Amino acid sequence: MNTSLQHNAISIIGSQMDLGAFRKGVDMGPLAIRHAGLIQKMRDIGFAVKDCGDIVPMVATSEGSPKMRYEKEINDANERLFEKVLSIYEDDSFPVILGGDHSIAAGSVSATAEHYGKIGIIWIDAHGDFNDELISPSGNMHGMPLSAVCGCGPDSMVSFTEARVDPHNTVIIGARALDPLEIEKLKEKGVKIFSINDVHTAGIKEILNEAIAIATDGTEGIHLSFDMDALDPDNAPGVGTPVLNGLTNREGFMICEALFNSGKLLAIDVVETNPLLDNRNTTGKLAAELILTCIGLTDY
């Protein structure tokens, strides 16, 4: 086992959240990723692994406000996830968080920021997730968590903590489906965006060098939040919001390899795996292999 990961113990926590999006099924994502053999493979490469189970949202009886659909249920689940991830850090363990839709990152990233103080974020996603209740065209809260953890609203998504992440230490890689007002907001707040065109023009290696430098500038390390829809749907068919022209599998693995080798990885989220839309758990298996690469599993 490569010792670049600063923990010998890993704790897995899932969140069965599918209220942040229109299409259902991502609540089964944690099960699909575990079913791919994640825990045993972690143990095979030398880690002590604890499975902390899943956060299950409250039963929703109403969508609530159309500007923030299922706000109460999502925020309650995220507060519970926040507390659970904090307890993982207190146990001197490395958290691996399995989604669920991307709204769960409001809880998990906030816990990393609460524990470490100043952190950076690398957000692998076809989308920006930097909307808020004022500019979101859908009211879907899986499109808002990055904005929330950076202190740019909605405030209610992170009301359980005062910890925030500086947008100038925040990087999005693989973006290709950003909303117009969201683009303006991202640029105004100083988030660095590497679009899929940037990846294909400059190459993923050069982009990763810059992304890691930005996310580690004056910080304690990096929280990686990996949305499986960043990958091309030919490779990751089981996602709720697929977007053509995505990252290749090799680019996805290079991202995880580089973050492991940086020695600065503090936590991992992997979200938006949807078994209902998948082909023989292709996306769940790929998600598991990406996580394993983040903690040091290589083919050499």
Q: Is 223 tagged catalytic? A: no
Q: Kindly state the tokens that stand for 276.
A: 């209902």
Q: Which of 7, 54, 71, 127 is catalytic?
A: 127
Q: Which of 125, 132, 166, 269 is catalytic?
A: 125
Q: Is 18 tagged catalytic? A: no
Q: How far apart are CA 296 and CA 223, in angstroms?
A: 16
279 burial (CB, 10 Å; 0-12 / 13-18 / 19+) is: exposed
Q: Which of 71, 73, 179, 229 is catalytic?
A: 229
Q: Is 232 tagged catalytic? A: no
Q: CA triplet 84, 69, 162: central angle to 5 degrees?
A: 40
Q: Which of 101, 132, 133, 142 is catalytic?
A: 142
Q: Which of 102, 182, 223, 289 is catalytic?
A: 102
Q: Is 7 tagged catalytic? A: no
Q: How far apart are CA 292 and CA 300, in angstroms?
A: 14
Q: Which of 129, 251, 278, 289 is catalytic?
A: 129
Long-range pairs, 246-251, Cβ under 8 A, ≥24? 246/126, 246/174, 246/176, 246/196, 247/124, 247/173, 247/174, 247/196, 247/199, 247/204, 249/286, 251/199, 251/204
Q: Is 115 tagged catalytic? A: no
Q: Is 179 tagged catalytic? A: no
Q: Is 166 tagged catalytic? A: no
Q: Is 125 tagged catalytic? A: yes
118 burial (CB, 10 Å; 0-12 / 13-18 / 19+) is: middle
Which residues are identified as catalytic? Answer: 102, 125, 127, 129, 142, 227, 229, 272
